[in-house]
């Protein structure tokens, strides 16, 4: 029990000593700026002999970047990654206020900065400041032209490049697809590029549907949203309309219309008959087939074939020519008959 109490007292004493070096826990800056890292040892009550600043990157060793001794002055090691850009704020420096400034801050300067005093007789005491570098990312989003099919493919991409910290990417759409796991790539300058994609088994009806990518980042006052429309290509989908099952001999100006939808836009429309012979009374006007006067030769199957760069689609309809027009008989309401 006494051993545990002694250890606890030692931790409390060490903690109080460490707190005597006054620094800012975190300093935030942007690349290219000059940043000041403050350090002070107020009311030490002991002899201060030297102060050193060290830089520690993530998963890296500490490196001395600035040292001050009252008798030997200031020294800035040339092997430091901050050589030529770091200096004490005051000239000459003092042990009471050995704050430093770093000019033209780089993304690679992000990390922990340790201000360490050599004191007598208690030894070294230090304070740690985390320097956080922010970089506003460049954000882009694009839809991907795809062909309709049953296999899920990437239909839209969103990228936030060269930011720090990593950006957050989200998607909003009424489509029934899935968002891929974001891919984060750390660049040589410590910035991060985030890539995200939306996957879908594209159907022709998805062409032109809305999808939005939204990027959020600490450096942005509000999220940036990229509205997009899907681009799904597919062969023509064809339907013949205009036949009401009541064409009769002598009828004039009957017609069929070949409706086609495709992406890319269909380029050719071809009318045929199942027999191979087009009746003389029929005129072809692009996607319309006009019968000037219905006779028994129109008693056939008409085929409309439409093509685009991806292929073709077709529809057919069989016309039955009646001898006379089939007039619809009207039924009177029994209640009306009783009046």
Tell me the chain's radius of gyration from C-alpha atoms. Answer: 40
In a domain, 65, yes or no: yes
Same domain as 111, residue 32: yes
**How many Cβ atoms from other residues are within 10 Å of residue 73's Cβ?**
10
pTM: predicted TM-score of the whole model, two decimal places: 0.73
User: What does the pLDDT look like over 95-154, one tens digit per residue?
Assistant: 988 999 999 999 989 999 999 999 887 788 999 999 999 999 999 999 999 999 999 999
Domain that holds residue 175: 138-230
In a domain, 261, yes or no: yes
Q: Are 163 and 219 in contact (CB under 8 A)?
A: yes
In a domain, 181, yes or no: yes
Quick check: bond before 268 cis, omega within 30?
Answer: no
Q: What is the mean pLDDT of residues 171-179?
A: 96
Going 88 to 89 to 94 to 97, the CA torsion angle's sign is: negative
Helical (H) or strand (E) element with 52? strand 47-56
- Tell me 21's DSSP state: S
Q: Considering only the C-alpha atoms of the chain, give the largest distance between any 2 of them, rounded to a whole number of Å.
A: 126
Same domain as 212, residue 184: yes
Same domain as 143, residue 50: no
Look at the chain and report how many structural domains it folds into.
3
Same domain as 248, residue 277: yes
- DSSP string across 202-257: --GGGTT-EEEEEEE-TT-SS-EEEEEE--EEEEEEEEEE---S-EETT-EEEEEE
**How many Cβ atoms from other residues are within 10 Å of residue 52's Cβ?**
20
Same domain as 206, residue 174: yes
User: What does the pLDDT look like over 246-289, one tens digit per residue?
Assistant: 999 999 989 999 999 999 999 999 999 998 889 989 999 999 99
Listed residues 230, 262, 288: the one ending a domain: 230
Same domain as 39, residue 122: yes
């Amino acid at each position: 029990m006494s051993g545990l109490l002694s250890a606890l007292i030692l931790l409390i004493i060490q903690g109080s000593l460490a707190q005597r070096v006054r620094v800012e826990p975190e300093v935030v800056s942007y690349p290219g700026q000059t940043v000041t890292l403050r350090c002070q040892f107020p009311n030490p009550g002991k002899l201060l002999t030297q102060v050193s600043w060290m830089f520690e990157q993530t998963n890296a060793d500490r490196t001395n970047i600035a040292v001050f001794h009252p008798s030997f002055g200031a020294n800035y090691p040339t092997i430091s990654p901050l050589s030529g850009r770091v200096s004490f704020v005051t000239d000459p420096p003092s042990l009471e206020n050995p704050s430093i400034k770093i000019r033209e801050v780089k993304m690679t300067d992000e990390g922990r900065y340790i201000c360490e005093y050599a004191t007598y007789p208690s030894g070294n005491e230090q304070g740690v400041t985390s320097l956080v570098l922010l970089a506003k990312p460049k954000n882009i989003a694009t839809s991907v032209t795809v062909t309709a099919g049953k296999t899920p493919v990437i239909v839209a991409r969103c990228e936030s490049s060269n930011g720090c910290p990593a950006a957050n990417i989200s998607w909003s759409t009424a489509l029934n697809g899935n968002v891929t796991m974001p891919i984060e790539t750390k660049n040589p300058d410590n910035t991060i590029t985030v890539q995200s994609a939306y996957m879908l088994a594209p159907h022709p009806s998805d062409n032109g549907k809305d999808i939005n990518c939204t990027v959020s980042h600490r450096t942005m006052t509000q999220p940036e949203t990229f509205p997009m429309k899907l681009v799904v290509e597919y062969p023509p989908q064809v339907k013949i309309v205009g036949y009401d099952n009541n064409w009769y001999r002598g009828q004039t100006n009957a017609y069929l219309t070949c409706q086609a939808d495709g992406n890319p836009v269909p380029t050719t429309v071809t009318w045929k008959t199942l027999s191979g012979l087009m009746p003389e009374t029929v005129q072809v006007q692009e996607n319309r087939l006009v019968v000037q006067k219905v006779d028994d030769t129109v008693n056939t199957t008409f085929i409309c074939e439409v093509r685009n760069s991806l292929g073709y689609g077709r529809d057919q309809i069989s016309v039955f020519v009646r001898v006379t027009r089939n007039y619809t008989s009207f039924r009177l309401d029994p209640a009306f008959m009783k009046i």
